[in-house]
Amino acid sequence: MLGEAANNVTREFADKHPELNWKGLSGVRHKIVHDYADIDYDTIWDILQNDIPDAFAKLKTIVDALPPEPTQPPPNMADFL
């Protein structure tokens, strides 16, 4: 799921948050899903033990800094609904 989500991040958002290896996250997902016959399980284990916890910590920092989502549309949006 993390790799698929990273694949859908906009270039603009990724450029604002270079602390995460967006291409690497989506690349690991691609390798597991499409090239599973050649997976190096030691590498996957290393990624799970070392890279994923670090990525989650960085993602939490990014998400915590995002502005809250509105709970309802702005008043003028009612004209469009």
Question: Which residue among the candidates 11, 17, 30, 34 is catalytic per the annotation?
Answer: 34
Examine the residue annotation and report whether 30 is marked as an active-site residue of this protein: no
Q: Return the ∠ at Cα 45 (arms to 38 and 22), rounded to 5°.
A: 80
Query: 9 near 22, Cβ under 8 Å?
Result: yes
Cα atoms found within 13 Å of the Cα of residue 37, Cβ hemisphere only: 0
Which positions are annotated as active-site residues?
A: 29, 34
